[in-house]
Amino acid sequence: MDIEKFSSMDFGEFVDVFGNVIERCPLIAAAVWSQQPFSDLEDLEKHFFAFIDALPQSGQEGILRCHLDLAGSELQRPLTAKSQREQSGAGLTSLGADERLRLVELNAQYRARFGFPFVLAARFSDRTAVPRELARRLLCPPAQELRTALGEVKKIGSLRLADLLRADPAKL
């Protein structure tokens, strides 16, 4: 998709295409549309990130709470297609019973401590690194952990934006 294409989309189309750059937060894409036109991918990305950074803390935590647990036990809420692909690529959808139980326990501790789920750009990780990173971040101070987690949200968003801009619009 070239830059002219996404810089001239009407807001309905823009939200349809970019609504899940930040997981389950079409509001953010819908707000970013106000900043059209965009000069390039970096410019578009910058507006997504600036919106996140300007939210009050409850809103930033809210973004994290729109994510599901990595390799989560919450099977009643299905993963979005993008999230499914990302977790599958990291081997998280085919864990053994012990690995899965360990992740479920760590996720529960993390949620209880911080009030939001553990978020990690799964495409940069794998099934052995995820529980190690989760255990490490579980010990971080809450303010630092919020910044780390939002950094992961931005990495995920960057990857999704790059995928979308590489994609054939007819296949979106």
Residue 31 contacts its own copies per CB under 8 A:
yes
DSSP 124: G
How far apart, in whole angstroms, are the C-alpha atoms of residue 44 and residue 6?
10
Active-site option among 67, 127, 137, 160: 67
Residues near 122 by beta carbon (within 8 Å), at least 6 away in sequence: 70, 86, 87, 89, 90, 92, 130
Catalytic annotation present for 67: yes
Closest separation in Å from C-beta 128 to its own copies = 27
Helices (H), 20-56: 26-32, 41-54
Contacts of 47 (CB under 8 A, 6+ apart): 32, 35, 38
The 3-state DSSP class for residue 74 equals coil
| By the rule CB under 8 A, 35 interacts with its own copies | yes
Stretch that binds its own copies, among 59-67, 118-126, 127-135, 137-145 (CB under 8 A): 59-67
Which residue of 17, 18, 20, 32 would you call a contact of its own copies, by CB under 8 A?
32
1 near 164, Cβ under 8 Å? yes
Tell me how far apart the alpha carbons of residues 49 and 151 are, in angstroms, rounded to a whole number: 10
By beta-carbon proximity to its own copies, the closer residue of 69 and 127 is 69
Query: Which is closer to its own copies, CB of 89 or CB of 115?
Result: 115
Is 29 or 150 the residue whose CB approaches its own copies more closely?
29
Range 139-168, binding its own copies (CB under 8 A): none
Question: Could you list the active site residues?
Answer: 67
Q: Which residues contact its own copies by CB under 8 A?
A: 10-12, 15-16, 24-35, 51, 54-59, 61-66, 74, 77, 111, 115-116
